[in-house]
Amino acid sequence: MAEDRYSKSAVKHIRRYLKAYFEYAIDEDLIPKNPARKLALPNIHKKPCERFLTVEEVQALLTAASPREHLVLRILCCMWLASG
């Protein structure tokens, strides 16, 4: 899953579920020990987002925003433009 670029939280959830499944199997005397007991999380490097909003998307966002949200979004856009 880590190699397929799944998020760290998704990999952690699957690991937790696997451990729980095997613990249940132990409780039901289906297996003698939990093979996932020492299952370690792989190193997962978060891929940076490469997507930006188009001008049309920003305009649609501002149009749909309430007056307060509109102000906050305008300030954010202006700060982002000034920093770049």
d(CA 58, CA 65): 11
Band of residue 32 on the pLDDT scale cut at 50, 70, 90: very high
pTM above 0.85, yes or no: no
pLDDT at 52: 81
d(CA 81, CA 84): 5
CB of 42 closer than 8 Å to CB of 2? yes
Q: What is the pLDDT of residues 48-73, one digit of tens each?
A: 677 788 889 989 999 999 999 989 99
d(CA 44, CA 83): 29
Sign of the CA dihedral 57, 59, 64, 68? positive
Q: What's the distance, CA 33 to chain centroid? A: 32
- Which amino acid appears at position 6 of this protein? Y
Return the domain boundaries, the chain. Answer: 1-47, 52-84
